[in-house]
Amino acid sequence: MTAVGTRDLIVEKADALFYEGGFEATSFADIAAAVGISRGNFYHHFKTKDAILDAVISRRQQRTSEMLDNWQAKGAAPRDRILSFIRLLIANRIKIMAFGCPVGTLCSELAKLDHAAQHRAAEILGLFRSWLTGQFQALGIIRQAEAHAMHLLVWSQGVAVIAATFRDEAFIRREVAGIEEWLDELLVAPAVEN
């Protein structure tokens, strides 16, 4: 009926609530209140809480893919594409300082819960991993491409955890500058290293 279906609205609100409060701590009632529908009505759209989580993960996978495709389509140099990834930390710094990385914290929580969906959540980080690997390969860095991609994931996830712990914006900017410096040093390194 509505321009955006109720189902999509549920997934959108659930995504935000899972991010800001955690999956386990978010109840059906919380989501229903955020969407503005009755608790019972939920059952029509999602049979279980896990089904909502599944939809939330699918939505994140799709959005991530779209974002990466957009960066890819812009025709920018691979270096600039990698910088787009790094600067997500700056662009989302307010929420990161409050709740950490939406993907990293979800993966951590689902790992602890030993939840069936943990591998699907990990795939989101896998999308970044593959895409970053591709960027390094496009730069002629073949042998170490995957390791560099993993290192960027490590660095950004670490910044997110520490940023949420100490709530220090200057720290984020310092680390991001450090990542960019690291990247530029990589790109002028002799080809034999790659």
Q: Which long-range contacts (CB under 8 A, 24 or more apart) does 39-44 make?
A: 42/10
Q: Does 14 bind a copy of itself (CB under 8 A)?
A: no
Q: ∠62-138-181 over CA atoms, to 5°?
A: 90
Question: Residue 106 CB, nearest distance to DNA (Å)?
Answer: 16
Residue 16: count other Cβ atoms within 10 Å of its Cβ: 17
Query: Which stretch, 24-32, 136-144, 154-162, 185-193, contacts DNA (CB under 7 A)?
Result: 24-32
Report DSSP state, residue 27. Answer: -
Backbone angles phi, psi at 54, to 5 degrees: -60, -45
Q: Does 173 bind a copy of itself (CB under 8 A)?
A: no
In terms of Cβ atoms closer than 10 Å to its own Cβ (0-12, 13-18, 19+), residue 99 is middle
Binding-site size for a copy of itself (CB under 8 A) equals: 39
**Binding at 5: pick from DNA, a copy of itself, none (beta carbon under 5-8 Å per type):** DNA
Among the listed residues 52, 68, 54, the one whose alpha carbon sits nearest the alpha carbon of residue 125? 68
Among 171, 183, 187, 194, binds a copy of itself (CB under 8 A): 171
Q: Which 108-167 positions form the footprint of a copy of itself (CB under 8 A)?
A: 108-109, 111-113, 121-122, 125-126, 147, 150-151, 153-159, 161-162, 164-166
**Binding at 70: pick from a copy of itself, DNA, none (beta carbon under 5-8 Å per type):** none
Q: Does 39 bind DNA (CB under 7 A)?
A: yes
Contact 16, 26 (CB under 8 A): no
Among 93, 104, 137, 186, binds a copy of itself (CB under 8 A): 104
Among the listed residues 134, 159, 160, 162, the one whose alpha carbon sits nearest the alpha carbon of residue 148? 134
Q: Does 42 bind DNA (CB under 7 A)?
A: yes
Supply 191's token pair.
Answer: 């080809």
Residue nearer to a copy of itself on the CB measure, 66 or 168:
168
Instruction: Name residue, tokens 């080809």.
Output: 191
Question: Residue 12 CB, nearest distance to a copy of itself (Å)?
Answer: 18
Q: Does 109 bind DNA (CB under 7 A)?
A: no
Q: List interacting residues with DNA (CB under 7 A).
A: 1-2, 5-6, 26-30, 37-45, 47-50
